[in-house]
Amino acid sequence: MNKSLNKLNGFDGVKGPVLTVVMDGVGLAPDTISNAVAGAYTPTLDMLMAKYPMVTLKAHGTAVGLPSDDDMGNSEVGHNALGSGQVFAQGAKLVSNSIESKKMFASSTWQELISNVKNNGSTLHFIGLFSDGNVHSHIDHLKAMLVEAKAQGVNNVRIHILIDGRDVGETSALEYILPFEDFLASLNGDGFDARIASGGGRMKITMDRYEANWAMVDLGWKTHVLGEGRQFACAADAVNAYRAEYKVIDQDLPPFVIAENGTPVGTINDGDSVIFYNFRGDRSIEISKAFEGGADFDKFDRVRVPNVVYAGMLEYDGDLHIPSKYLVNPPEITNTLGEYLTNTGVSQLAISETQKYGHVTYFWNGNKSGKFSEELETYIEIPSDVVPFEQRPWMKCAEITDKLIECLESGKYAYLRVNFPNGDMVGHTGNLAATRCSMEALDLQLKRIIDVVDKLHGVALITADHGNADEMYEMDKKTKQPKPNKDGTFKSKTSHTLNPVPCIIYDNFYSENYSVKADNGQFGLANVAATMVNLLGYEAPEVWNESIIEVK
């Protein structure tokens, strides 16, 4: 297949730079007290929505390759769709299909994991996010594997739970732990012994990403592998104790170890098998590196490195092959925007801060590390602060903009893409005031950016990858009002939303060359790629979803 682009007839394209701005986590929702986007002072964003062509984009469910429209979108699948111009079946759906068809359990990796513990009389361990949020993992996948492990003759299983409170309710941990303990009780017996062995909040241990805070992984290693940490008789006791003592939501719960008579029930030892059952890659790579890293691993002192068979649910990095063993083949995302542009000779910039740098590079390029062209592509990472996001809600948006403007004015790049993480990362904290502040900080940067775009006779497409900041409280579907807590406050929502996202075309020079198609609810994130190449003066590949604009 020829992976270069053909020129459009009748429109040579934008003479200045063409820019995609991703306002991460900024959805469209009714203007209620819950909406930090609408509640913030954002004169620039308000002006853009009022004066320039805007369509809405679906950013969840089947529009981004997830199993159903009840599934919230996320930054990873969102950037896959933005960067590929297509919709591919994503992790949750791939795993569910593999389990239902029994393909997973027939795989050589599953058979090796099971044979290893049976031959050694050792333990099968599961580590992963413990909820049904369906963004990183799903508890039903874990249950299915436990049932199959027992059926295949495994005797000892230990589960290390990473408590969510981010993709699900912020204090919902016991809603998963207590029924799961009942589930384990129904399985146990006849030589089968499965127990929760350790755990902690997902934003405290194990699930760091982009090497922003290896100390989280270090703490997870000590908890899961070494069995070091505060001991409890059961996971529910740990959750109740920590909530009372620390007054934190689930994602921030400290680590805990389940023990009997002072001895941890589930350390990871030589001869064991370990499955990291998250299907999403970004927060799975570092713990995989810790298990598979050799003597040159230097991110933290692992103290001891057990000789285990380790596997991920998917291959989390297809270029670096992390991990070396996995249970389900990831989607093969091909024919991406970045690949087509480099093959056509178009110079590109991708920029964000650490928290979303991988989204405008790795995920944008179809889960591929590295560049398509060292000559034509520049990737810039602005280091993120390692502080709670509600304490610095502006994050690095000003620094990102400083560098972006420098790159725009350099004249070096025909196409640029930038991600501002504020609406998503601060939105996840559940702090309404901080999230409003994050939106106001972002709005200041949008003004700086569009002024430069005008000066250079460029065009900007301003959009988002999913909703989050647009719904900061749990909403009652019947009353359309926030759900109250017992103390009269509102119940915070820390997960993504099912709301559409805006897609604004900011163009003061070329709009007579095209029309924006009517918005009948048909557009999704995958329609952005074709729009960008049209603005650059090229025809979109036939395999992509249609453009939002019609060239005259």
Question: Tens of pLDDT along 490-516?
Answer: 989 888 999 999 999 999 999 999 999
Half-sphere exposure of 175 (CA within 13 A, CB side): 11
Query: Of residues 133 and 70, which shows the higher confidence score?
Result: 133
pLDDT of residue 1: 65
C-beta separation of 225 from 306 below 8 A:
yes
Domain ranges of the chain: 18-89+332-475+483-551, 92-328
pLDDT > 80? residue 79: yes
Write down the pLDDT at residue 24.
97
Catalytic entry in 4, 34, 68, 75: 75
Which pLDDT belongs to residue 485? 85
With H, G, I as helix, E, B as strand and everything else as coil, classify residue 472.
Answer: coil
| Mean per-residue pLDDT, 455-481 | 93
Percent of the chain with pLDDT over 90: 88
CATH code: domain 18-89+332-475+483-551 is: 3.40.720.10
Phi-psi region of 380 (alpha: psi -120 to 50; beta: other; left: phi over 0): beta
> Tokens for 452?
């430069």
- 382, two tokens: 């602005």
pLDDT category of residue 403 using cuts at 50, 70 and 90? very high
- Asked if residues 20 and 418 have their Cβ atoms less than 8 Å apart, the reply is yes
Output Rg (C-alpha) for the chain, integer angstroms.
24
Q: Beta-carbon neighbour count of residue 184 at 10 Å?
A: 18
Taking 80 as the threshold, does the pLDDT of residue 2 lie above it? no
For tokens 């599961």, the residue is: 126
Euclidean distance between CA atoms 538 and 179, whole angstroms: 55
pLDDT of 321 reads: 83
Q: Is 275:142 a contact under the CB 8 Å cutoff?
A: no
Segment 148-197, tens digit of pLDDT: 999 999 999 999 999 999 999 999 999 999 999 999 999 999 999 999 99
Neighbours of 530 (CB within 10 A): 22
Provide the token pair at 487. Answer: 């103390």
How far apart (Å, rounded) are the C-alpha atoms in residues 334 and 1? 11
What value does the mean pLDDT take over residues 417-422?
A: 98
75 is catalytic: yes
Portion of the chain with pLDDT greater than 70, in percent? 99
pLDDT tens digit string along 320-371?
Answer: 789 999 999 877 899 999 999 999 999 999 999 999 999 999 999 998 989 9
Could you tell me the pLDDT band of residue 475, with boundaries at 50, 70 and 90?
Answer: confident
Q: What does pTM read for this prediction?
A: 0.76
Q: Place domain 92-328 in its CATH homologous superfamily.
A: BPG-independent phosphoglycerate mutase, domain B (3.40.1450.10)
Residues 428-437 have a mean pLDDT of 96
Tokens representing 64 are 């981004």
- Residue 76's nearest CA partner among 338, 358, 421 is 358
Asked if residue 72 has pLDDT above 90, the reply is: no
Read off the pLDDT of residues 384-397 as tens digits, 9 standing for 90 and up: 999 999 999 999 99
Tens of pLDDT, residue by residue over 263-322, are: 999 999 999 999 999 998 889 999 999 999 999 999 999 999 999 999 999 988 765 789
Please determine, for residue 535, whether its predicted confidence score (pLDDT) is greater than 70: yes
Give residue for tokens 């453009």. Answer: 547
The arithmetic mean of pLDDT across residues 466-478, rounded, is: 91
In 3D space, the residue among 318, 312, 323 whose CA is nearest the CA of residue 279 turns out to be 312
CA distance 5 to 545: 15
> What pLDDT score was predicted for residue 276?
98
The CA dihedral of 482, 487, 489, 493, to the nearest 10 degrees, is: -60
Residue type, 396: K
The pLDDT value recorded for residue 318 is 64
Q: For residue 15, which of 550, 545, 536 has the smallest C-alpha distance? A: 536
> Residue 400's closest CA among 408, 412, 390?
408
> Hey, what are 544's tokens?
């992509």
DSSP H/E element including 256: strand 256-260
Eight-state DSSP code of residue 63: G
